[in-house]
């Protein structure tokens, strides 16, 4: 079980460039595995802090996806988040880079498989 964070601010989306497989070198929503004894909200908030150094508050479920590949099967629950305080993201943990990306530029990045479709399906690259 994994979680992801959908953080939007002033026409930008918070993304991380993955430093590990699967998806090494590609851009994704911040997130990762839920640890034993952790609620989904706690996992979202912890993962964002570890990968971007930003503090967020977990809000509503946006949607979910499954990713299956050699040696893994992830069910990822993506939640909307709000910033607890403004800030500039700094990559940490297994993120090679973290950035606020303008909505108009997201599709130009090498994204992890299925992310562009997920963002479009849920209307996440529009006003917000």
pLDDT one-digit tens code per residue, 81-126: 999 988 999 998 888 999 999 999 999 999 999 999 999 999 999 7
Pairing of strands 12-18, 2-9: antiparallel
Considering only the C-alpha atoms of the chain, give the largest distance between any 2 of them, rounded to a whole number of Å.
Answer: 39
pLDDT one-digit tens code per residue, 44-66: 999 999 999 999 999 999 999 99
**How high is the pLDDT of residue 128?**
60
Domains, the chain, ordered by start? 2-121 (3.90.79.10)
**How high is the pLDDT of residue 61?**
98
Pairing of strands 31-33, 27-28: unpaired
pLDDT one-digit tens code per residue, 1-10: 999 999 999 9
Question: CB–CB of 11/124 below 8 Å?
Answer: no
Cα Rg for the chain, rounded, in angstroms? Answer: 13
What's the pTM value of the predicted model, to 2 decimals?
Answer: 0.94
Please state whether 93 falls in left (phi above 0), alpha (psi between -120 and 50) or beta.
left
């Amino acid at each position: 079980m994994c979680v992801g964070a959908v953080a939007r601010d002033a026409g930008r989306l918070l993304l991380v460039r993955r430093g590990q497989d699967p998806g090494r070198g590609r851009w994704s929503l911040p997130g990762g595995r839920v640890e034993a004894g952790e609620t989904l909200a706690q996992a979202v908030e912890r993962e964002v802090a570890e990968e971007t150094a930003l503090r967020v508050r977990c809000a509503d479920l946006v949607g979910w996806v499954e990713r299956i590949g050699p040696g893994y099967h992830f069910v990822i629950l993506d939640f909307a988040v709000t910033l607890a305080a403004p800030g500039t993201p700094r990559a940490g943990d297994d993120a090679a880079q973290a950035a606020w990306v303008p909505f108009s530029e997201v599709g130009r990045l090498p994204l992890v498989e299925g992310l562009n479709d997920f963002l479009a399906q849920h209307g996440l690259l529009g006003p917000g």
